Amino acid sequence: MKKIAKVTLTTLFVLAVWSASSYAGMVSGTVKFDGAAPEAAVISMDADPTCAGAHSESVLSEEVVVGDAGALQNVFVYVKEGLEGQTFDTPSTPVTLDQKGCQYKPHVFGVQVGQPVDIINSDPTLHNVHGLPKNSKEFNLGMPIPGMRVKRKFDSAEVMVKFKCDVHPWMNAYVGVVSHPFFSTTGSDGSFEIKDLPAGSYVLEAWHEKYGTQTMNVTVDDAAPQSASFTFTG
Amino acid sequence: MPGKSPSLYDLKKTTVWFAISSLVLLISLVAMVLEDSTREWKHWQKEFVTYSREKAEGELQKARKAVDQKKLAALEAQLVEAHMSANEQKSKVRELEKETAALAIKITQTTMRYQNEKQFQDSDRYFLEEHRLHHEDEQAAEFAKRMEERAPVIDSLKRDLEGLQAEDDARKESINEITQKARELTRQIQQLTESITRLESTVKKLSPNVATAILNAPMLDFMKPTLQIQQIVLENLYDDYFFKKSNKVDRCTTCHLGIDQTGFEDAPKPFQTHPRLELFLSANSPHPAETFGCTTCHGGSGQSVSFTTAAHTPQSDEQAAEWKKDYGWREMTHAISKMLPLSYTEASCTKCHGGVVDVPQAPKLAEGRRLARTYGCAGCHKIEGFEKQWKVGPSLEHVQSKLEPDWIIRWLMNPKEFRASTKMPRIFHLENTSDVKSAEKSDASIAGIAAYLMKNSDPIALGSLPTKGNPEAGEALVKEVGCLGCHTAAGVDANNFGPELTGLGSKVTPEWLYAWLKDPKHYSSETRMPNMRLSNEEAAHITAYLLEDRNEKFESIRLPIVKSEVVDGLAMMFLKGRLRYDDAQAKLNAMSAQERLEFIGEKTIVHQGCFGCHTIHGFEDTKPIGTELTDEGSKDVHKLDFGLIHLDHTRQAWFYQKLKEPRIFDRGKEKVYHEKLRMPDFGFNDDQAERLTTFLLSLQKEDIPLEMSKQLDLREQEIERGRYLVAKFNCQGCHTLDGQEGKVRKVFDDAGNAPPLLTGEGKKVDGGWLYDFLEKPVTIRPWLSYRMPTFEFDEESLTHIVRYFENLSEVPISYKDDTPKPTAENIEAGKKLFKAFQCIKCHKSNPEPGLSASFLAPDLVMTKSRLRPDWVVEWLMDPQALQEGTMMPTFFYDGQSPMPEILGGDALRQSEAIRDYLWLFNAEEAHGAAQPQVPQAG
């Protein structure tokens, strides 16, 4: 009898531990823009004929990109609070930032602390990629040769770090540097997805270049995906 | 039997008196011992021992917790095991030890034999050589043979010896192996518990024990007590006791026991650590306690060992009350030197740090000195070291071309009514001149000054405006050309160096302002306002904008009615000072009403000392009116007139009060008008008054030996000369320089548009070029709207400023030609790199208009005349290292070149090649380089 109880208890305990650690949650949702989308400004690239020549149509600013049904693109969503004291492996696969047609691709993205950012110049003109972090060391790298690549890492978390090109003042990009892998950037449909989040309570933050930040509390407790949606107004 | 000898004293009485006096002596002895053993400092030393012990105990506990107990236990278990296994092999060890002992004998024997044989060999060699020298061949052959025979013996002995030693080593190694583990473990355990052992011994040392109790016991403490007075005797510094000077002795450390130790930062007073030990007290700081002591800076009676007699001075009344309650403190009313309250300690820095614009590391004093310069204290008060002070107010030599007399009258009534931020103090209508009679006299004096100034100033030629300016364009210009580098204007407050630009529509005419903007020196040759090289249109726009703002409240101030009898009364008062009554009256009668007004104006200017700040015709050589302040900080307190008001009798309290309410010391006194206190009211706030008080307290003279005070070397002197000019012309209003951020920079969102940083400028630019540039600025950064003004410096100032920059960057004077002498290979490589890196993309010679700021960088044709060759290479290698945030990118990241085929891909050689090419770069090259290139296919 005693033995049975012991076995049962042990099994229960193991199950409890197993369920807490291996049932990882998912948070997904969409970011919407409420109201009439502002008209995107046309970027004049006349100052550098190489840039102007790379586009057949007029180039629009990526500051506010609103898709169908108010889907807001380029919003960086990440876990802001709730993971304190935990450490995560740093991925060695780099995130790519391309300078193509005198624009940064992507315009907004995320990276983990210590994870390399592979910066490429695909244009036959001089770019300088000027990273302006406050918590890590600032850098300003001239990339005069087409096809050049350079890797850079950030030492500390910071949301967001701005990149700019001093040669082409219209060029900028933003990277969210976080200490964990739980972040996502909204695509053209305004959706984001954060996977494999351990059970717990968190504060999510959504950042937009023009409209600032919003936060939301989410509790992840089982396998059912948690949904979270943000709405920005102009 | 002889009779009782006659006695002069009564034995019984004597005995009684003797007993009484013995008793009294005994009691007083006990009282003395008791008193001595309860002295204040002994109490603090005992407290310190207790505090230190508790602190060490706390640390011990922490250290114990910090030790990895599991690891320790494991190590200890291993140690026990190691000892056990060593014990098991004891017999083997003993056996080995025996063998080594036996071997040792053998080794000694063999060594001796070996050495003997070697000696024989040496001896035979000697004889062989001797015989050979004397051609005794036979004997020589004999010795040669003997040597030959012995050689193998020596060799074999040596081999034996080596064999024996190897055997010995092997045995020792075996013993070692058996005991080594235990030793290694013991070492590891010791390492792990090192801090615990150290702290335990500290705690033990600090714990009460019989030995220290005996050493400190009353009557026994003359031998070697652990509680004793600590003192620092200062060899080169003296205390002045009026007729005798004696070496300064500071006993402060008797109670301030943790003052020079780290770790007592949070300890209660008096044990707290002194702030900034890297600067004070520690032996390798610039102010070691052994050399400077404590009272040199803090004041107070260094020899005293009680809280009260050391002359501690409280910061505030609350602190005084607290001290009275806690320590029975009372003020040492008659002490020669009382301690400075902590908030004023910086005042002592100037005892040793003279001849500098700002005393380093003394922010409050520096602020105080800056205020004294800004408000022109030295205009009225002679202060040694301030001889070069410029006049802070504008020149009034041509004032009739600038102002209306009514404006002057309203202004003098109360300058702050026109502009709250003005530095002009209020002189009239203050508390001691607020009664009706005094007010009438003040009104008459003001009208007199206005009349005098109108009469005694020369007009200047003012042209008319070429065009009616556009105020909106003017506002933009005020924000863009650089006015904000000195003035608060257009709602932007970054600098309040020059006057705030408000209400000018109520003050000056368009013609005057236009002429002033175009060329300030035309109106006033001494003005510090530089020439902004404004075009006629620009000047007209700014004029239009600045004159839009009027101060209607000020304009509506009613002008006072000046009664002729008051004017006459004042005139008579001034005349009677020099003449007999009848003569005075006659002189007055000879004057017209206007002349009388001008006369009292002139006399009022003398009386109030207006010429201290303003250049006024007729007062070019008049002596300033204020008390000399050179020694004010050490002035006897009883020489200060505290009047009838209740105030602490300290210098700092008096200075502070005087600065806040200068006329308060007349309160309750009966004085005639012209005998009343004259110090004007500057409207200082509490902070300003405290900083200026620190400055005043710093004005003291003490005999500090030359070797103890800071002596500026040539480089430092040249830097100070530059700093004086930098302060005078407010270079740091725009530029980051000498460790201070340019004040106007915060106005800019994009740092690329702000005036350039000048950190390291001396190393960057050529001295000769800088001289020319300062004399006649040229455009370097065409994208900046801010203009470097033309200051019209004289040759001496220009040289001082150039040397200042060079000295800040530690660039020595050099006559060596440092022009690069490039090789053809370098020039070719430089040119290729210049093209590959597309330098011309931003560094255009004639940029087409309309390009945004970031497209533009300095014209490189200027490089060879402007920059130092070494700097150019350093800059090319890593621009961010020299100027954080610069738009100039590096092409050699992590020291690697992206062009491996040029000059072996060596970043340094490539940088030098670019530099060499730039030294040949001229307008033609620039034009060629700027031609559009066919982009290469990526």
pLDDT in tens, B889-923: 999 988 888 888 999 989 999 999 999 999 998 88
Q: State which residue of chain A sits closest to B833, comparing Cα positions.
A: A144
By C-alpha distance, the chain B residue nearest A134 is B885
CB B80 within 8 A of CB B223: no
- Nearest by CB to B938, from A48, A130, A146: name it: A146
Chain B nearest CA to A108, separation (Å): 22
Asked if residues B260 and B301 have their Cβ atoms less than 8 Å apart, the reply is no
Q: Are B352 and B704 in contact (CB under 8 A)?
A: yes
Distance CA B702, CA B631 (A): 10
- Give A125's contacts in chain B (Cβ within 8 Å): 838, 841, 935
- The CA distance from B920 to B864, in Å, is 8
pTM to 2 decimal places? 0.79
**How do residues B24-69 score in pLDDT, each as one tens digit?**
999 999 999 999 888 899 999 999 999 999 999 999 999 888 888 8
Question: Residue B936 and residue A126: Cβ atoms within 8 Å?
Answer: no
Share of chain B above pLDDT 90, in %: 67
What digits encode the pLDDT tens for the residues B9-34? 888 899 999 999 999 999 999 999 99
Q: pLDDT-based confidence at B444, cuts 50/70/90? A: very high
B418 and B406 Cβ atoms separated by less than 8 Å? no
Note whether B741 and B405 are within 8 A (CB): no
Asked if the Cβ–Cβ distance from A124 to B889 is below 8 Å, we say no
Q: Is B337 helix (H, G, I), strand (E, B) or coil?
A: coil
pLDDT at site B378: 95
Q: Please report the pLDDT score of residue B636 as a whole number.
A: 87
Instruction: Report the alpha-carbon distance of residue A97 to residue A131 in Å, rounded.
Output: 12
**Is residue B185's pLDDT more than 70?**
yes
From the options 3.40.50.10310, 3.40.190.10, 3.40.50.12780, 2.60.40.420, give the CATH code of A22-233: 2.60.40.420
Is the previous residue joined to A160 through a cis bond, with omega within 30 degrees of 0?
Answer: yes
Chain B positions with Cβ closer than 8 Å to A: 752, 836-838, 841-842, 851-855, 879-880, 884-891, 893, 898-899, 932, 935-938
Work out the pLDDT band at B851, boundaries 50, 70, 90: low
Longest dimension (CA), chain B: 151
Residue B852 pLDDT grade (very low, low, confident, very high; cuts 50, 70, 90): low
Nearest CA in chain A to B884: A138
Q: How far is the alpha carbon of B780 from chain A, nearest alpha carbon, in Å?
A: 18
Token look-up 């979270």 returns A228
Q: Which chain A residues contact residue B890 at CB under 8 A?
A: 140-142
What is the spatial distance between Cα A158 and Cα A180, in angstroms, rounded to a whole number? 12
Comparing CA positions, the residue from B763, B760, B721, B726 lying closest to residue B743 is B726
State whether A142 and B837 contact (CB < 8 Å): yes
Write the DSSP symbol of residue A121. Answer: E
Average pLDDT, chain B: 91
What is the pLDDT confidence band of residue B269, given thresholds at 50, 70 and 90?
confident
What average pLDDT score do residues B675-703 get?
A: 94
Rounded CA-CA distance B512/A54 in Å is 56
ipTM of the complex: 0.81
pLDDT of the residue at B154: 92
Terminal Cα distance for chain B, rounded: 146
Where b means 16+ CB within 10 Å and e means fewer, B152-190 reads eebeebeebbeebeeebeebeebbeebeebbeebeeebe
Q: Rounded mean pLDDT of B269-279?
A: 93
> Which chain B residues are within 8 Å of A130, Cβ to Cβ?
887, 889
Q: Give me the phi and psi of B245, to 5 degrees please.
A: -105, 140
Contact A123 B854 (CB under 8 A): no
Contact across the interface for B889 and A128, Cβ inside 8 Å: yes
CB crowding B375-386: b at 16 or more within 10 Å, else e: bbbbbbbebeeb
Please indicate whether, in this complex, the C-beta atoms of B880 and A139 are within 8 angstroms of each other: yes
Put simply, the answer to whether A138 touches B885 (Cβ < 8 Å) is yes
| CB neighbourhood size of A98 (10 A) | 17
Q: Is residue B762 scored above 60 in pLDDT?
A: yes
| pLDDT beneath 50: ranges in chain A | 1, 14-23
What is the band of B716 on the pLDDT scale with cuts at 50, 70, 90?
A: very high
What is each CA distance from B282 to B45, B178, B287, B330, B346, in whole angstroms? 21, 50, 7, 32, 19
Range list of H helices, B69-193: 69-88, 90-133, 137-192
d(CA B862, CA B752): 20
A-B contacts at Cβ under 8 angstroms: 71
Question: Helix H segments across B375-488?
Answer: 377-380, 405-413, 415-418, 436-455, 471-481
Q: Kindly tell me the sign of the dihedral angle through the C-alpha atoms of B682, B685, B691, B696.
A: positive
Neighbours of B104 (CB within 10 A): 12
Decide if A124 and B887 are in contact by the 8 Å CB cutoff: no
3-state secondary structure of A131: strand
> Which of A47, A147, A150 is opposite residue B893, by nearest beta carbon?
A150
The minimum CA-CA distance between B813 and chain A, rounded to whole Å, is 34
- pLDDT the model gives residue B787: 93
Instruction: Give me the torsion for CA of B78, B79, B81, B82, rounded to 10°.
Output: 110
- Is the distance from CB of B161 to CB of B107 less than 8 angstroms? yes
Cα B145 to Cα B141: distance, rounded to the nearest angstrom = 6
Cα–Cα dist B402/B508, whole Å = 6
Residues in CB range of B562: below 8 A, 6 or more apart: B443, B444, B447, B597
**Contact yes or no for B902/A91 (Cβ under 8 A):** no
Mutate to test the interface with B, among A51, A127, A130, A138 (most CBs of B within 10 A): A130
Integer Cα distance of B681 and B164 in angstroms: 101
The answer to whether residues B682 and B374 touch, using CB atoms and an 8 Å cutoff, is: no
pLDDT range class, residue B437, cuts 50, 70, 90: very high
pLDDT of residue A2: 54
Q: CB distance B752–A122 less than 8 Å?
A: no
Nearest 5°: phi and psi at B460? -115, 160
How many residues in total does chain A contain? 234
| Alpha-carbon span A112 to B533, nearest angstrom | 52
Residues in B touching A146 (Cβ below 8 Å): 936-938
In a 13 Å sphere around the CA of B600, the CA atoms on its Cβ side amount to 26
The angle formed by the CA atoms of residues B628, B633 and B637, to the nearest 5 degrees, is 95
Distance from the Cα of A200 to chain B's closest Cα (Å) equals 31
Residue B931 binned pLDDT confidence (cut-offs 50, 70, 90): low
Tell which residue, B769, B870, B782, has the closest CA to residue B820.
B870
DSSP, res B433: G
Cα distance between residue B40 and residue B327, in whole Å: 10
- In angstroms, the CA B353 to CA B347 distance is 11
pLDDT value of position B441: 96
Handedness of CA B745, B747, B752, B756 (dihedral sign): negative
Residue B312, helix vs strand vs coil: coil
Domain extent listing, chain A: 22-233
Distance CA B560, CA B406 (A): 10
Question: Which pLDDT value is given to residue B358?
Answer: 87
The residue in chain B having the minimum alpha-carbon distance to the alpha carbon of residue A149 is: B898
Radius of gyration of chain A (CA): 22
Confidence band (pLDDT; 50, 70, 90) for B615? very high
Q: Which residue of A has its CA nearest to B932?
A: A49
Q: Which of A147, A166, A169 sits opposite B938 (nearest CB)?
A: A147
E strand residue ranges, B456-556: none
CA distance A52 to chain B (A): 13
Closest to B475 (Cα-Cα) out of B404, B534, B543: B543
Q: Which of B104-108, B154-158, B543-547, B816-820 has the lowest mean pLDDT?
A: B816-820
Q: A148 to chain B: which residues are within 8 Å by CB? A: 898
Q: List beta partners, residue A42.
A: A60
Per-residue pLDDT, B686: 96
Instruction: Report residue B313 CA to chain centroid gap.
Output: 25
Q: Rounded to an integer, what distance in angstroms lies between the CA atom of residue A6 and that of residue A1?
A: 9
Strands (E), A14-135: 25-34, 42-43, 59-60, 76-81, 95-100, 103-105, 108-112, 117-121, 127-131
Nearest 5 degrees, angle CA B872-CA B879-CA A43?
120
Question: What is the reported pLDDT for A22?
Answer: 42
φ, ψ of residue A39 in degrees (nearest 5): -75, 130
CA distance A115 to A113: 6
Q: What is the rounded CA–CA span in Å between residue B566 and residue A213? A: 71
